[in-house]
Amino acid sequence: MTVSVTVPMAMNKRTLESRNVKMSARGVKVFYGENEALHGIDIDILENEVIAFIGPSGCGKSTFLRCLNRMNDTIAGARVEGQIALDGNDIYDPSLDVVLLRAQVGIVFQKPNPFPKSIYENIAYGPRLHGLARRRAELDDIVESSLRRAGLWDEVKDRLDQPGTGLSGGQQQRLCIARTIAVSPEVILMDEPCSALDPIATGKIEQLIDELSESYTIVMVTHNMQQAARVAHKTAFFHLGDLVEMGDTDDIFTNPREQRTHDYITGRFG
Amino acid sequence: MTTTNLDTVDSRRRQRLDTVQRSLKSRHARERRFQGMGLFAVITALVLVTILFASILMRGVPAFWQATLYLDVHLDPEVIQVDERPVRQAAESPAQFRERELVWLNQLGMVNWNGLIDEALKAHLPGEIESRQTRDLRALVASGERFALRDRVMENPGLIGQTISVKMLASADVDVWLKGNIDRSLADSRQQLSAQTREWADYLKEQGVIRNSFSTALFLNTDSRSSPASAGLAGAFMGSLFMMLIVIALTVPLGVASAIYLEEFAPRNRLTDLIEININNLAAVPSIVFGLLGAAIFVGYLGLPLSAPLVGGLVLTLMTLPTIIIATRAALRSIPPSIRQAALGIGASRVQTVFHHVLPLALPGILTGSILGVAQALGETAPLLLIGMNAFVANVPSSPMDQATALPVQIYLWQGNELRNFFEARTSAAIIVLLGLMLSLNAVAIWLRKKFETRW
């Protein structure tokens, strides 16, 4: 039994181009206290590709995602070993400013978490923080273009001063994506971005991911294999803290090399 | 076969339902018992609070109105024999002028003001009053009132020779007698006032010369021992105000800052654990211990003055700090971590995350905690007794270094006063004032919380 796969249109055009490695990990281990959650992950993430991390709960895929912009720093007792590089530069280098890293590698969380401020302020906060806009008009431009790219502009343009928390769940998640785009990151991490959304909102987010992959590298964690099959160019399967297999999405789903991958995608465990 | 099977299935089902039903009965009974006990507890508490408030109000509210004499005093030039008010001459040095002015003030002080008041009283009383009855007569008026009359003439010497209408507080004993706070059937020897004075008081009340009027003295005067009727809360109020300003100025920034540091920035290690345990323990230390500490350190070691609101404020600051730190930490902890992650995720630093997002959201909780902490400090008595704030102070303090007392301490002092049946009412009135202040502080806390909450 296999999952039917439709390869995204955008991908076909770009497979021929040679692409640079955007982020790479070598021997990444993560410890929560004494407990080793990841046992040495090696991975290369190419520029402008959408890569999905799949695997059963507790397999370490979210943990690894959070290593990519050092969100694990905020968890007490978490420790990262090994090397993760962005454009060849070690992101765990003590001299590197984590704020700069997070401006380059943005993150969208599982549950939509807009600030309890207006829609405008939600988007404007990041650019203002990093000094990306000097004048109000520039800021207005960033807000509009970010909301347009997130496909939310037409729905909220008349109520930018309304609270972001008043939007529906799907709109809130697109607002969070717009907020991430507004600081012009190079990589966007998405931690199960659709798990709290209904199928229609999920469809919109997936379409958005496909569009965004034109200009961003997107790394997403998902529990939904169909979703990985629909939007990801590459898929990586994690199991019990190991990266079992990574490859082109259609290879993983139609012709996995490892037995564990095969068992998982055919629903034998998970 | 099948029918028996069905029967057993059916009977088992019925058995199961019966068991559930039986347990249901006892469960409901338990629920009712618990609700009954809860209701009983709430009603008991409400009844007790009602009794408390009713007794305070019943005693205290009448004390806001005091027996007052409405008299026409003739400022007889024969009695007030003073020179013209000195005017400064061109050739005079300030010292020389001051000397002449003092002579004049001295003359005013020597005037028999009581005699003038006596005359005014006699005009309303029937029959001839002999000079041996002067004592009884003077017992009618609060002893401080002659100075009020003197001050009025001192300010405006042009009044001499005129007849002016004056409101004078009746003495505390007269007030008690007329309000019926003392048993009228007691023998003369056990009464505070002579039979003659009591008769006159009743007569003047009947004539409308003595009326109940709102006691501004309670709010505008300081404590008084010689003239209890004019004892007021002004000194204690200012003392409490200075202390509260010190407490607010010190505890809120210090407490909130340490809570933010401990909650958001401090590493979790042995030292911070120790600090946390100590803060929690400090919140449970009896307040009188802080008084001892204040007496030893601020007064004994640093040599700050006794009875000063500055010392009181510092002691209350120490007492309030743990409360505010704990309240602020709880408020910070209640902000969902998703907000912090959102801010960190778009590249805000930790300080920016805290000050742009977490703190504004935690503000209602912090404000509520701070105001309740300050209100608690406002009502604190015990530590102040140990740093001399229970002294008798007859001035309104003009700075935190002056001697002063505080509202709750004033209540304590009045409650223990020997003129009990006057000061018991005064005490209740002061309690009402203090409770009023507390309630308004709490109202402000609720208002602030609502205001900042709706701001999402």
* Contact assignment for A109 to B352 by CB distance below 8 Å: no
State the pLDDT confidence band at B183, using cuts at 50, 70 and 90: confident
* Contact assignment for B456 to A111 by CB distance below 8 Å: no
CA distance A30 to chain B (A): 19
Question: Which is nearest to B415 in space by CA: B430, B400, B404, B433?
Answer: B430
* Contact assignment for A76 to B347 by CB distance below 8 Å: no
Interface of B with A (CB under 8 A): 268, 336, 338-349, 352, 356-357, 361, 456
pLDDT at B351 exceeding the cut of 70? yes
pLDDT at A186 exceeding the cut of 60? yes
State the pLDDT confidence band at A17, using cuts at 50, 70 and 90: low
For the segment B184-212, what is each residue's pLDDT rounded down to a tens digit? 888 888 888 888 899 999 999 998 899 99
Nearest-by-CA chain B residue for A177:
B346
Rounded Cα gap, residues A218 and A225, in angstroms: 17
Of A109, A129, A179, the CB nearest to B352: A129
For the segment A222-264, what is each residue's pLDDT rounded down to a tens digit? 988 889 999 999 999 999 999 999 999 999 999 899 999 999 9
| A67, containing H or E segment | helix A61-67
CA distance B454 to chain A (A): 11
Rounded Cα gap, residues B304 and B301, in angstroms: 8
Contact list, A113 vs chain B (CB under 8 Å): 336, 338-339, 341-342
Contact B197, B134 (CB under 8 A): no
- For residue A127 the two structure tokens come to 């650019």
* Contact assignment for B345 to A71 by CB distance below 8 Å: yes
Please state the ipTM of this predicted complex: 0.86
Q: Does A183 touch chain B (CB under 8 A)?
A: yes
Residues A82-100: what's their mean pLDDT? 90
Contact list, A115 vs chain B (CB under 8 Å): 339, 342-343, 357
State the pLDDT confidence band at B392, using cuts at 50, 70 and 90: confident
Q: Is the dihedral of CA A11, A14, A16, A17 positive or negative?
A: negative
CA distance A3 to chain B (A): 34
* Contact assignment for B456 to A163 by CB distance below 8 Å: yes
For the segment B227-248, what is each residue's pLDDT rounded down to a tens digit? 888 888 999 999 999 999 999 9
Residues B33-50: what's their mean pLDDT? 97
Mean of all residue pLDDT scores within chain B:
89
Domain residue spans of chain A = 9-265
Contact B366, B331 (CB under 8 A): yes
For the segment B310-322, what is each residue's pLDDT rounded down to a tens digit? 999 999 999 999 9
State the pLDDT confidence band at A1, using cuts at 50, 70 and 90: very low
How much of chain A exceeds pLDDT 90, in percent?
53
* Contact assignment for A109 to B343 by CB distance below 8 Å: no
pLDDT at A18 exceeding the cut of 70? no
Q: Which residue has the higher pLDDT, B4 or A252?
A: A252
Contacts of residue A11, Cβ cutoff 8 Å, sequence gap at least 6: A233
Angle at Cα B296 formed by Cα B290 and Cα B299, nearest 5°?
105
State the pLDDT confidence band at A12, using cuts at 50, 70 and 90: very low
State the pLDDT confidence band at B224, using cuts at 50, 70 and 90: confident
* Contact assignment for A109 to B342 by CB distance below 8 Å: yes
pLDDT at A96 exceeding the cut of 60? yes
pLDDT at B165 exceeding the cut of 50? yes
**Which residue bears the tokens 């409101």?**
B167
Of A106, A109, A129, the CB nearest to B341: A109
Interface test with B, best of A115, A117, A128, A183 (most B CBs within 10 A): A115
CATH superfamily of A9-265: P-loop containing nucleotide triphosphate hydrolases (3.40.50.300)
Q: In the CATH hierarchy, which fold is given to the domain comprising B234-453?
A: MetI-like fold (1.10.3720)
CA distances from B155 to A21, B152, B158, B413 (A): 93, 5, 9, 34
For the segment B295-304, what is each residue's pLDDT rounded down to a tens digit? 999 999 999 9
Contact list, B456 vs chain A (CB under 8 Å): 116-117, 163, 165
Contact list, A182 vs chain B (CB under 8 Å): 346
Q: Does A107 touch chain B (CB under 8 A)?
A: yes
Rounded Cα gap, residues A75 and A29, in angstroms: 15
- For residue A236 the two structure tokens come to 């990586």
Nearest-by-CA chain B residue for A110:
B338
* Contact assignment for A116 to B456 by CB distance below 8 Å: yes
Of A76, A99, A109, the CB nearest to B349: A99
Rounded Cα gap, residues B193 and A30, in angstroms: 89
Rounded Cα gap, residues B16 and B283, in angstroms: 53
Contact list, A69 vs chain B (CB under 8 Å): 345
Rounded Cα gap, residues A264 and A267, in angstroms: 5
Looking at residue B8, its pLDDT comes to 83
pLDDT at A16 exceeding the cut of 50? no
Residues B378-392: what's their mean pLDDT? 90
State the pLDDT confidence band at B43, using cuts at 50, 70 and 90: very high
Contact list, B342 vs chain A (CB under 8 Å): 109, 113-115, 176, 179
CA distance A7 to chain B (A): 30
Rounded Cα gap, residues A160 and B129, in angstroms: 87
For the segment A125-158, what is each residue's pLDDT rounded down to a tens digit? 999 999 888 899 999 999 999 999 888 999 999 9
**How would you label B341-371 residue by residue, b for 16+ Cβ within 10 Å and e otherwise?**
bbbbbbbbbbeebbebbbbbbbbbbbbbbbb
- For residue B292 the two structure tokens come to 């001892």
Nearest-by-CA chain A residue for B360:
A116
pLDDT at A114 exceeding the cut of 50? yes
Q: Which residue has the higher pLDDT, B361 or B421?
A: B361
| Sequence-ordered alpha helix ranges (H) in B265-406 | 270-282, 287-294, 309-333, 337-345, 350-353, 359-378, 382-385
Question: Which is nearest to A269 in space by CA: A65, A59, A5, A30?
Answer: A59
Rounded Cα gap, residues A105 and A127, in angstroms: 14
Looking at residue A75, its pLDDT comes to 81
Interface test with A, best of B268, B273, B346, B452 (most A CBs within 10 A): B346
Distance of CA B197 to the CA centre of its chain: 34
Nearest-by-CA chain B residue for A163:
B456
For the segment A63-75, what is each residue's pLDDT rounded down to a tens digit? 999 999 998 887 8
Please tell me whether residue A44 adopts helix, strand or coil conformation: strand
* Contact assignment for B345 to A106 by CB distance below 8 Å: yes
- Residue B194 per-residue DSSP state: -
Rounded Cα gap, residues B318 and B325, in angstroms: 11
| Sequence-ordered alpha helix ranges (H) in B208-269 | 217-220, 234-260
Portion 131-160 of A in contact with B at CB < 8 A: none
Residues B379-403: what's their mean pLDDT? 89
For the segment B63-105, what is each residue's pLDDT rounded down to a tens digit? 899 999 999 999 988 888 888 888 888 888 888 888 888 988 8
For the segment B113-156, what is each residue's pLDDT rounded down to a tens digit? 988 999 899 888 888 888 888 888 999 999 888 888 998 888 88
* Contact assignment for A102 to B346 by CB distance below 8 Å: yes
| Sequence-ordered alpha helix ranges (H) in B125-171 | 134-138, 145-155
* Contact assignment for A115 to B346 by CB distance below 8 Å: no
* Contact assignment for A116 to B339 by CB distance below 8 Å: yes
State the pLDDT confidence band at B252, using cuts at 50, 70 and 90: very high
Looking at residue B83, its pLDDT comes to 82
Contacts of residue A140, Cβ cutoff 8 Å, sequence gap at least 6: none
Contact A217, A45 (CB under 8 A): yes
pLDDT at A4 exceeding the cut of 70? no
pLDDT at A13 exceeding the cut of 50? no
Nearest-by-CA chain B residue for A99:
B347
How much of chain B exceeds pLDDT 90, in percent?
45
Q: Is the dihedral of CA B391, B397, B401, B402 positive or negative?
A: negative
How much of chain A exceeds pLDDT 70, in percent?
93
* Contact assignment for B342 to A113 by CB distance below 8 Å: yes
Residues B11-21: what's their mean pLDDT? 89
For the segment A30-68, what is each residue's pLDDT rounded down to a tens digit? 998 888 999 999 999 999 999 999 999 888 899 999 999
pLDDT at A23 exceeding the cut of 80? yes
Can you point out the beta strands (E) in A6-99?
A: 21-32, 35-46, 50-54, 78-86, 89-90
Looking at residue A6, its pLDDT comes to 52
